[in-house]
Amino acid sequence: MSASWTSRRLAALAAAAALVVAGGATPASAHPRPADKVPVAVGTGGAVATVDADATRVGLDVLRRGGNAVDAAVAAAATLGVTEPFSSGIGGGGFFVYYDAATGRVRTIDGRETAPQAMQADAFTEDGVALPFAEAVTSGLSAGVPGTPATWETALRRWGTLDLRSALRGATQVARRGFVVDRTFADQVAQNSARFAAFPSTARLYLPGGAVPEVGSRLRNRDLADTYDLLARHGSRALYTGPLARDIVRTVQRPPVAADSTLDVRPGLLELRDLAAYRAILREPTHVRYRGLDVFSMAPPSSGGSTVGEALNILETSDLGALPAVQAQHRYLEASALAFADRNRFVGDPAFVDVPLRELLSDGFAAERACLVGATAATKPVAPGSPDGDYAGCPAPGTAGRAGSDGQSTTHLTTADRWGNVVSYTLTIESLGGNGIVVPHRGFLLNNELTDFNFTDTQGGHDPNLPGPGKRPRSSMAPTIVLSHGRPVLAVGSPGGASIITTVLQVLVNRVDLGMDLPAAIAAPRASQRNSPSVQAEPAYPRAALAALGHTFTDTPEIGAATGIELLRDGRLLAAAEPVRRGGGSAGVVRERGPHGG
């Protein structure tokens, strides 16, 4: 990396490892990594890192045939829609961050789902009371207009070399020929089996014969292959107009519930006009300077870029690499809480909310917030700050806001090509399995993205994330690209709902400040403080010394499933994915080349 990644920071690795890595840098898992998944690859010619071996292989095939990072990202994402269908697919949306080597600029696409025009602020309440969350998820009401097909086509038309037909070819073959069911896939079906069984279209695909698919069996999705063929022939508009659009609207408005189901599945508000009006939006990325590096990510309606960026600005007021490991982790947790307080109060869809993004990412605001980081943990939740441009000393306490909570199912992929282009792309259908409803005869699940809205006002009349007609719900997705002297050195992202933000932040801190290499930064045990009374932490995350500072912890099996690519100084690419989390990820390069050229 750049010269700013000094040997002093590398020396911090030993101290950091004592707290963060020693005793099990890799989270515990009941499921061994499949043999065809390799978590780290180093070489040249291009790289792909995803959660799935088939998706990584399809992306690499595109690169080998002369495609660029954008082409490979779309091809890999389409394959994840087949093999990782409970986290992604054309029924959902996402955020696409791209470094263009020809111009030296970072560009982004907002492919977030939108609410129907008929949706009002009280859509998720009945008689003034919020709907039970599980009932809101498994419903037509939770489904927003999908943004993924428009994102793919926008990215390919602007920066790719392939058309949508060519980019979908590999994924279509996987859908038609089938893929091998692994333990993670089978477990995810099992977790959803009760609600999947409530919809014949879903049960037919994912509960063949009424049972969870066996590990090692082959699952085919010919309906999705046919849908991909339709998109290949007619472009993304085939999903937003015509027969496919009518099928989506019919499914949302009249959910195809089995006659014997006891689930209360509410109809949705989506109409044909909502689909026809959808557009993916080109937005300026967020940008902060951190330790001499330029960190770019996604702007609102995602809170990922603003919250990661604000937390980095707060952390930059301390030299984490020179601190004792416990203090470095303490500051990471406190900065996360402060940034989340501001995220919850100020960030929403910028078409509906005046988001003070420039001030949230300003050094002055960060300095004001950093003065609240004391020697011990603050009582959570902490109050939001005042990003008003007038920063002097520590502000008076305000009113604390509710901690945000997003769905937990998303996926992330990272690609790079031989020309220096880089993509960091996070996509989702929201909860694991989306709203649980496969569009009949179309082969894909619909999202429940609209449950990312707050159901009731959490901010005393100033909630930026209530539902609204055509509004995009706030997201936590944080696909990130880091530049040094104008050239990319690192791209990273993760799934995980609101913990995406803390996962990306922790990986960056591990890599930049604590001296870990990228695979170690991804593998290290995680903790997520989202302005809540307790910190969610993986079992391997050491906490005794932090508890002595006032932090309290709640165990969670795993947090996130990151992928990343580092562009090494000698021109090689290092692709890295999870070694264990979520069944382990898959990293690959076009031409493997180890440290000695092998």
List, in sequence order, every beta strand (DSSP E) within 139-214.
179-180
Residue with tokens 């009518």: 246
Question: What tokens does 70 get?
Answer: 């954008």
**527 CB-contact burial (10 Å; exposed 0-12 / middle 13-18 / buried 19+):** buried
Q: Kind and range of the H or E element at 126?
A: strand 125-126
Count CB neighbours of 375 within 10 A: 8
* Torsions phi, psi for 388 (to 5 deg): -110, 0
| DSSP helix/strand/coil, 411 | strand
Separation of alpha carbons 536 and 132, rounded Å: 23
SS3 for 484-504 is ECCEEEEEEECCCCCHHHHHH
Q: Kind and range of the H or E element at 338?
A: helix 325-346
Question: What tokens does 545 get?
Answer: 């010394």
- Strands 535-537, 553-555: pairing is parallel
Separation of alpha carbons 394 and 397, rounded Å: 9
Give the type of residue at 526.
Answer: R
Catalytic residue numbers? 410
Separation of alpha carbons 346 and 330, rounded Å: 25
HSE on the CB side for 404, CA within 13 Å?
42
Question: What tokens does 324 get?
Answer: 């004792």
| DSSP helix/strand/coil, 267 | coil
Give, in degrees to the nearest 5, the angle at Cα 579 between 573 and 583. 125
The candidate with the shortest Cα–Cα distance to 343, out of 395, 300, 285, is: 300
Give the type of residue at 388.
Answer: D
The candidate with the shortest Cα–Cα distance to 315, out of 327, 331, 329, is: 331
| Bridge partners, 592 (sequence order) | 43
Separation of alpha carbons 4 and 292, rounded Å: 6
The CA dihedral of 258, 266, 497, 120, to the nearest 10 degrees, is: 160
* Torsions phi, psi for 180 (to 5 deg): -85, 125
Separation of alpha carbons 571 and 57, rounded Å: 22
Separation of alpha carbons 351 and 52, rounded Å: 35
Separation of alpha carbons 201 and 212, rounded Å: 15
Question: What tokens does 142 get?
Answer: 């939770």
230, 244 in Cβ contact below 8 A? yes
Question: What tokens does 528 get?
Answer: 């997520």
The candidate with the shortest Cα–Cα distance to 499, out of 459, 543, 559, 442, is: 559
